[in-house]
Chains A and B, each alone.
Chain A
Amino acid sequence: MNDRQGSDREPEPKVDAMAIVGTLLAGPLCWGGIGWLADWLTDRATPLFLPIGILLGLGGSIYLVWRRLPKH
């Protein structure tokens, strides 16, 4: 805990672990919600856009997490 420590050290890329969980949740929620809305608007008996939306959102989330990870 001396004065010099940290002052001339570049900040390491910090990954907020909860941000990963947040992103993984946000994708399916967002696009699943849009898909659900599309199902509801088109009056479908069996959901079609809901699963498509969830998968799309999950794919987007995983891509985002992968892109944001610091590369060594």
Chain B
Amino acid sequence: MSANAHVLAAEDGDGGLFTPGGPGFAPPTTDIFFPPPIVEFGPFAISKYTVLLALTVVVVLGFWFATTSKMKLVPSRWQSVAEMGYLFIRDQVARPTIGKQGDRYVPLLITLFFMILVMNLWGVVPLVGQLPVTANTAVPIVLALIVYVFWNVVGIRKQGGWRYFRDILFMPGVPWPFYIILTPIEVISTLIVRPVTHAVRLFANMFAGHLLLATFAAAGFYMFNPGAPDALLGAVSVVFSGFAFLGFFAFTLLEIVIMSLQAFVFVLLTAVYIGGAVEPAH
């Protein structure tokens, strides 16, 4: 489609689609993920990410404080929303993956889930947000690192350092010469690839989804050109633009689903890793 637009936009002028000489469609680049710093001091800076991250903390803290500070036996509407969130994480994530000991880790899982959910959803909040915080590599990397340190510490404390690492490095029930080949693979896949994929999965989903939305929006604005020299083509451009915005809204809905799903997947994998550390390998 963009090649077609380039052909149609021939020479001079600065209009959109069907205006000869337009600049052609400039798709959004990764620049949209590097908003200019708002305040700079020395090597540090406050950018839109920092502000949204702080807002996330305020929103999540505010939600849990407001809904659970004055709890009643017969819950109010908001208290029951909070309880549903709690039960969802406990019964769908913690207990099925970690088992009876899972309840201990529910606070961590809930914090992670709601933080990531809100950080993701900033991507579809108009005006204030329009930038998922998790599309900044630093955020998923730090979250994955926290989880990585956490499940290793849990494993060492629950099973003892020697037994814990023996189970990771030397899979039980394997003839010993195999360990020469298998142990390096285990080290890489469990201790290196696992945290990396944990972080990259969240980052890449948010990054790609946001870029897709931005492309649809930019295409919609570019193609909207009712003032084209040819009135008929001007009308056609409005129809084209309508399709682009239709796609934008459809993918926004899809994005909201993906944002929730990725928050869930991150937390589910966290629970799977903790579960593997709590229970010795079978």
Q: In whole angstroms, what is the CA distance A66 to B279 when docked?
A: 20
Q: In whole angstroms, what is the CA distance A64 to B275 when docked?
A: 19
The answer to whether A44 has its CB under 8 Å from any CB of chain B is: no
A16 lies within 8 A of B95 (CB)? no
Per-position 1/0 for A1-43, Cβ under 8 A of B: 1000111011111101011011101110111001000000000
The answer to whether A60 has its CB under 8 Å from any CB of chain B is: yes
Q: How many residues of A contact B (CB 8 A)?
A: 32
CB distance from A35 to the nearest CB of B (A): 12
CB distance from B77 to the nearest CB of A (A): 17
Q: In whole angstroms, what is the CA distance A39 to B103 when docked?
A: 52
B201 lies within 8 A of A1 (CB)? no
CB distance from A39 to the nearest CB of B (A): 18
Query: Which one of A7, A11, A16, A27 lies within 8 Å of B185 (CB-CB)?
Result: A27
B184 lies within 8 A of A6 (CB)? no
Max chain A CB contacts within 10 Å: which of B95, B184, B186? B184
The answer to whether B178 has its CB under 8 Å from any CB of chain A is: yes
Query: Which one of B91, B171, B197 lies within 8 Å of A67 (CB-CB)?
Result: B171
Majority secondary structure of chain B interface residues (helix, strand, loop or mixed): helix
B95 lies within 8 A of A25 (CB)? no
Q: In whole angstroms, what is the CA distance A64 to B98 when docked?
A: 22
Given contacts A1-B84, A9-B95, contact A64 B269 (CB under 8 A): no
Per-position 1/0 for B55-91, Cβ under 8 A of A: 0000000000000000000000000000010011011
Majority secondary structure of chain A interface residues (helix, strand, loop or mixed): helix
Nearest to B281 among chain A residues (CB) is A68
Q: In whole angstroms, what is the CA distance A16 to B188 when docked?
A: 16
Query: Which one of B102, B171, B193, B197 lies within 8 Å of A64 (CB-CB)?
Result: B171
The answer to whether B99 has its CB under 8 Å from any CB of chain A is: yes
Q: In whole angstroms, what is the CA distance A22 to B182 when docked?
A: 14
Given contacts A7-B100, A22-B193, A63-B178, contact A14 B275 (CB under 8 A): yes
B188 lies within 8 A of A30 (CB)? yes
Q: Which residues of A contact B181 (CB under 8 A)?
A: 31, 56-57, 59-60
B182 lies within 8 A of A12 (CB)? no
Q: Which residues of A contact B269 (CB under 8 A)?
A: 16, 18
B169-217 interface (Cβ within 8 A of A): 171, 173-174, 178, 181-182, 184-186, 188-189, 192-194, 197, 201
Between A and B, 19 residue pairs with Cβ closer than 8 Å are: A1-B84, A6-B96, A9-B96, A11-B97, A14-B272, A16-B269, A16-B272, A22-B197, A23-B185, A25-B189, A26-B185, A26-B188, A26-B193, A27-B189, A29-B188, A57-B181, A60-B181, A61-B185, A64-B182
Give B residues with C-beta under 8 Å from A: 84, 87-88, 90-92, 95-100, 102, 171, 173-174, 178, 181-182, 184-186, 188-189, 192-194, 197, 201, 269, 272-273, 275, 279, 282
